Amino acid sequence: MRTQIAIIGAGPAGLLLGHLLHRAGIDTIIIERQSADYVLGRIRAGVIEQEAAELLDASGLGKRMHAEGLVHHGIELAFDGDTYRVDFKKLIGKHVVVYGQTEVTRDLMEAREGFGGQSVYSAANVAIHDIDGASPSITYEKDGVTHTVECDYIAGCDGYHGVSRKSVSKSAITEFERVYPFGWLGLLVDQPPVTEEIHYAHHERGFALCSLRSPSRARYYVQVENGEKVEDWSDERFWDELRARLDPEIAGNLKTGPSLEKSIAPLRSFVAEPLRFGRLFLAGDAAHIVPPTGAKGLNLAIGDVKLLSEAMIEHYADKSEASLGVYSEKALERIWKAERFSWWMTSFLHTFPETGPFGRRIQRADFEYLIGSTAAQQSLAENYVGLPFA
């Protein structure tokens, strides 16, 4: 098989890249380790920055997002029960769209099927070859047969655990990482959400988050120590812990029910530099991870893919290497700003055993400063709704 761009990974990064390139007449093959159903079964965050939503819209992907997504003009922050609303609309005239990443992925898969884009699911032992030469390729196994895809370039969109970043020689890559001493236990439930807007709560027992997928489906999280096992968290235990961390009035309105999904995700900040190695480009979680506080993961992937698709389109149109040459530098500029914001939101809202009472007072001061300063709120708002795409 031969294609122009071989894409590894059918998450939002890989699928969106394939979509944007197809619209410019560039051929792609997507190779994914899991089945399509497995990919669609993963529950991820659900907040889309305004500009990211506009990009999906402009690429013909916005129909269901408009029908089912919820436009949110602010978020709530609570500190030991004191609640403050950050009004994005008033502060900066912008909004976010609440629409699950799983739904974005489903829309992208349907669009790809619609234009007849080639995708290989359940591909085993994906391997990358000759990225430093002029004819790179990918091999994979399917049903016991080894296949080869020859291409001009490879896009590594295969997430944090993917093969792309790991195929690069250690001396060519620098990795920056911060692992947090806790994770998020998340629960999805078919009940009306307890708050109208997304509610981030700092509490001495730990962070809690009230989010939603629709007017009848809620998503909740509580901070848990590393090493906690989901089997040890019955639904009842989860609801009790969530209630204990919320303002009693909000806790009193919480509608509970059997969990549709419950899982623990560790929290990590991670960036790999650079994002280009010969004919291999990294985008999305393959290149960077943010802790979910602030919901930047999907949005960063969309930002990378916008830049990478534009660079590839320019390359095929003008035979120019210029944009491909600066992709890494340009993308990393925005990535680091989102890393900073996600790290700050995480630091401010979680309890850190090692920082003690001093750390808690600093966090309280952060909250007081925020509610007393329009400048601080504007800063939070512009980062949350998303810094401009390059």
Q: Does 288 bind ligand APR (CB under 6 A)?
A: no
Stretch that binds ligand PHB, among 138-146, 287-295, 311-319, 363-371 (CB under 6 A): 287-295
- List, in sequence order, every residue forming a beta bridge with 148; answer none if it has no partner: 139
Using an 8 Å Cβ cutoff, are 201 and 325 in contact?
Answer: no
Chosen from ligand APR, ligand PHB, none, partner binding at 284 (C-beta under 5 to 8 Å by type): ligand APR
One residue of 46, 159, 284, 303 binding ligand PHB per CB under 6 A: 46
User: Contact between 120 and ligand PHB (CB under 6 A)?
Assistant: no
Contacts 24+ apart (CB under 8 A), 165-170: 165/272, 165/282, 165/286, 165/287, 167/127, 167/128, 167/131, 167/280, 168/277, 168/280
If binding is defined by CB under 6 A, does position 33 make contact with ligand APR? yes
- Count of residues that interact with ligand APR, criterion CB under 6 A: 29
For residue 14, give the nearest of 330, 253, 305 by alpha carbon. 305
Q: What's the length of the chain?
A: 390
For the bound state, the minimum distance from the C-beta of residue 76 to ligand PHB, rounded and expressed in Å, comes to: 12
Binder among 29, 295, 301, 332 for ligand PHB (CB under 6 A): 295
- Coil vs helix vs strand at 122: coil
Query: Closest CB to ligand APR among 21 and 301?
Result: 301
Number of residues that bind ligand PHB (CB under 6 A): 10
Site for ligand PHB in 196-235 (CB under 6 A): 198, 211, 219
**HSE value, Cβ hemisphere, 13 Å, CA-based, for 70:** 20
- Other beta carbons within 10 angstroms of residue 145's beta carbon come to 7
Binding part of the chain for ligand APR, among 11-19, 55-63, 221-229, 351-359 by CB under 6 A, reads 11-19
- 30 scored as a contact of ligand APR (CB under 6 A): no
Taking the C-alpha atoms of residue 316 and residue 153, their distance in angstroms, rounded to an integer, is: 11
Query: What is the C-alpha separation between 59 and 68, in angstroms, rounded?
Result: 18
Q: List residues near ligand PHB by CB under 6 A.
A: 45-47, 198, 211, 219, 292-295
